[in-house]
Structures are given as C-alpha cells and as structure tokens.
Amino acid sequence: MAKKEDFTPLSKLGEFKLIEELTSNFTLNQGSSILGIGDDAAILEPLTGQTLISADSLVEGVHFDLTYVAPGHLGYKAMVVNFSDICAMNGLPTQVLVNIGISNRFGLEFLKEIYAGIKAACDVYDVDLIGGDTVSSYSGLNLSVTAIGQADAQKITKRSGAQENHLVVVSGDLGGAYMGLQILEREKSVFQENPDIQPELKGNEYALGRQLKPEARTDIVDLLEKLEVIPSSMIDISDGLSSETLHLSQSSGYGFALYEEKIPIDPTIYKLCEEFNLTSTTVALNGGEDYELLFTIDPKDYDKIKGNPNLTVIGHVTEKGGECKLITRDNKLLPLNAQGWNSINEKNY
Ligand code: ADP
Ligand code: MG
C-alpha cells in the first residue's frame, strides 16, 4: 500500500511514462495473445471456437464510492464484472483492455494500486491485459473495460434459449453483495457524524467480501463442461435475481416460476437482513452485484447437477408468453418486477 503522503502528480510523468509505470509488470500468458501493450493495436490469433467481447464501465459516484472502496479492490472488481459477462455466455475470459479516465486529483501511487488490483485479477483468472487508453476526466474516476473471451461455438449460451419445463438454476448464493453495501453505507454515515469512531466491520467479512471483492464464476463454466451440461440460456446476476429472470423470460418468450423457499441465501446474510430490518427474499431478488450465474437446463440434465453444492434449482420455465412469478413460502403467486438494483439504491443506474 502507498503511504498517504506519497503523491506523485500525473503532470510530472507524461502519458507514455504513466502507461509504462502502470503496465510494465504485465505479461502475456494466453496462446492467442500475439502482441500486447505498446503498439497502436494489440494482435490476437484466435485458437479455437468463437470470440466473445463485452464492455462494462465503473463510474465514480455512480458505481463506486472512494470513501470506502480501496483502489486495489476497485481494479479487481472492474475486471471481475467484465469476466462475469463472458462467463454468462458459457465462455472463459482471455484478454482485457482498460480505458481509464482520471483527473489531477489522483496521483501515480493511487493509480498503481488500481493496476495492482487489475494485475491480481488477471493472474487469478489467467487473463492478459493487452491494451487500453488513458484520458483526462473532469468528473472523477472512470474505468471502462473491454473483456475478450473464447468458447466453442456449440457451447455458447445466449439469453434466448429457455424452453418450457426447463429447470432454472443459480450458482452460489444471493443478496450478500447488497448487504455488504448496506454495512459500508452505515459505517460511512457513522464516520461522517463522528470521525473518531472506528468502522465496525468485524464479523461481516462474508458480506463485505461479496461487495468489495466479487468473483466471476469461471469455476461454474468449468464445472458445467465437466458435467457435460450446456445450459439452454444463461445470464449473470449483476442487477438482482428478479430483473435477470425477466431478461431470460423476455429473450426466450417464456414465463418463469421461482420458488421463494429455494433461493439460496447464506446464513450470515439472513442475520444481517434481520439486523437491517430487510426481507431476505427482497434482498436476494432485488439486490445486485452478486455476479452469480442464472441459467436454465433441460430436465434430462437434472441428474448431472443434482446435489452439487454450487448449484441450486430454484424454479422452472412455464408456458410460452407466460409471466414471471415468485411462489412464496405460503404458496402465494407474486409477479416478479424489474426493480433491480435501481430502485433500492438510487445511486446505481
Ligand atoms: P495511441 O496514442 O496510439 O492511442 P497510447 O499512447 O494511448 O497510443 O497507448 C500506447 C499503448 O499503451 C497502447 O498499446 C495502448 O493499448 C496501451 N495503453 C494506453 N493506456 C492504457 C491503459 N490505461 N491500460 C493499459 N494499456 C494502455
Ligand atoms: Mg490511445
């Protein structure tokens, strides 16, 4: 970690030196990466299958708050959210480009920490940083990332392939990232009222980790391959289970039924929901940023995924043109709506 007093203004460096300082320790490890940073464009040579490309931005004040997000975590998360989109197509990420918009508020040390987070994610996921762009911003920090991935053509999974009676499956558990954000927002307001009070974060490691250092489920893409299951449709959960289910439904043209009692929620998250007076089902349905995978499978594949601790069947696909419904614990039918992340946290849109 850089010390607080270390501040090297970017104006001292010039663009070339800055890019070199930030990227000189990145190496190319993917066979498809022919040329990385340093020329006008990178060169890739696709090895097999088809190429997946996806872009996503993180904007200060909209997607993150530097009062409680460390720059290393921010760099890591900016990578992960993009890798997650590649996973959602049933592919694996291979290369990434990073466009960064910065103002003179930020010094070299801070940017180096962001790039340490980027490097950590590239190492964990075996992804090559092959380029990007560095520009001035007058409106805070801006990270715009493009991820490239690869998958066999017959394996690629779109949102549109769900069929009647297919099972709805989710990886991991839901609601953790949203509760992590609640804790951070609470501690921020406590701190603003009395800067002498130290943040109370102990015991909430799971929720905080889900918010600050999410992971992309490349392990689920590998698992599905091993189990010989190709989902009929898939999406990653960035905005909440409810809105992602509606996306699968809209793209496929079928209705979906989810069972409240089946939605996987970690015990520590249940406890936090009680503490914050929130309904855990609402948090799982509408809280975002868990980056789990939501997918449908042919019921004949059920035996292959049955009992796997990483996967939970939470519902099924209903009739053509049908609606999306939640079947509650007391057997009521509630329509799913697209509240998503937006309405429970106005800062995110
Ligand atoms: P150009 O002027 O041709 O756009 P740049 O000077 O912007 O070239 O970039 C030089 C090299 O550094 C290119 O390979 C580019 O992809 C890479 N690069 C620039 N900014 C970044 C960044 N923020 N992160 C990673 N690579 C970068
Ligand atoms: Mg450029």
Among 10-14, 259-263, 302-306, which is the least confidently predicted range?
Answer: 10-14
Q: Cβ(134) to ligand 1 under 6 A?
A: yes
Asked whether 323 and 315 are in contact (CB, 8 A), the reply is no
Q: Cβ(264) to ligand 1 under 6 A?
A: no
Give one DSSP letter per residue of 15-67, joined into a string: HHHHHHHHHTT----STTEEE-BTBSS-EE---SSEEEEEEEEEEBTTTB-TT
| Pair 52, 187 in one domain | no
Helix (H, G, I), strand (E, B) or coil at 124: helix
| Pair 172, 253 in one domain | yes
Instruction: Give yes or no for residue 347 having a pLDDT over 90.
Output: no
| Pair 217, 186 in one domain | yes
Furthest-apart CA atoms within the chain: distance in Å: 65
Is 2 domain-assigned? no
CA dist., res. 175 & res. 340, Å (int): 12
Instruction: Give yes or no for residue 346 having a pLDDT over 90.
Output: no
CA–centroid distance, residue 37 to ligand 1 (Å):
7
Is 160 domain-assigned? no
- What confidence tens digit (pLDDT) does each residue in 1-46 have? 555 568 999 988 989 999 999 999 999 999 999 999 999 999 999 8
CA dihedral 27, 32, 35, 41 (to 10 degrees): -120
Strand order across the beta sheet in which 324-327 lies: 233-236, 293-297, 167-171, 311-320, 254-259, 324-327, 333-335
CA–centroid distance, residue 265 to ligand 2 (Å):
44
Give the nearest ligand 1 atom to 115 CA. 24
Is 293 domain-assigned? yes
Is 82 domain-assigned? yes
Q: Cβ(100) to ligand 1 under 6 A?
A: yes
| Pair 69, 106 in one domain | yes
CA dist., res. 182 & res. 272, Å (int): 9
Q: pTM for the whole thing?
A: 0.94
| Pair 86, 172 in one domain | no
pLDDT, residue 339, reads 61
Q: Cβ(102) to ligand 1 under 6 A?
A: no
pLDDT, residue 202, reads 79
Which of 142, 15, 135, 129 minimizes the C-alpha distance to 74? Answer: 142
CA dist., res. 299 & res. 123, Å (int): 37
Q: Which of 151, 184, 202 is the last residue of a domain?
A: 151
Ligand approaching nearest to the C-alpha of 122: 1
| Pair 192, 98 in one domain | no
| Pair 191, 125 in one domain | no
| Pair 120, 177 in one domain | no
- Please report, for the domain that includes residue 291, its CATH number: 3.90.650.10
Is 229 domain-assigned? yes
CA–centroid distance, residue 194 to ligand 1 (Å):
43
pLDDT, residue 344, reads 41
Is 273 domain-assigned? yes
Give the residue whose CA is nearest to atom 19 of ligand 1: 133
| Pair 315, 225 in one domain | yes
149: its two tokens: 């991935």
Q: Which of 151, 181, 197 is the last residue of a domain?
A: 151
Structurally, the chain folds into a number of domains equal to 2
Domain hosting residue 146, numbered range: 10-151
| Pair 144, 191 in one domain | no
| Pair 101, 225 in one domain | no
pLDDT, residue 193, reads 81
Average pLDDT taken over every residue of the chain: 93
pLDDT, residue 214, reads 97
- What confidence tens digit (pLDDT) does each residue in 109-166 have? 999 999 999 999 999 999 999 999 999 998 899 999 999 999 999 999 999 999 999 9
Instruction: Give yes or no for residue 263 having a pLDDT over 90.
Output: yes
- Please report, for the domain that includes residue 113, its CATH number: 3.30.1330.10
| Pair 327, 183 in one domain | yes
Q: Which of 151, 177, 194 is the last residue of a domain?
A: 151
- What confidence tens digit (pLDDT) does each residue in 167-214 have? 999 999 999 999 999 999 998 888 788 877 776 777 899 999 999 999
Is 138 domain-assigned? yes
Is 221 domain-assigned? yes
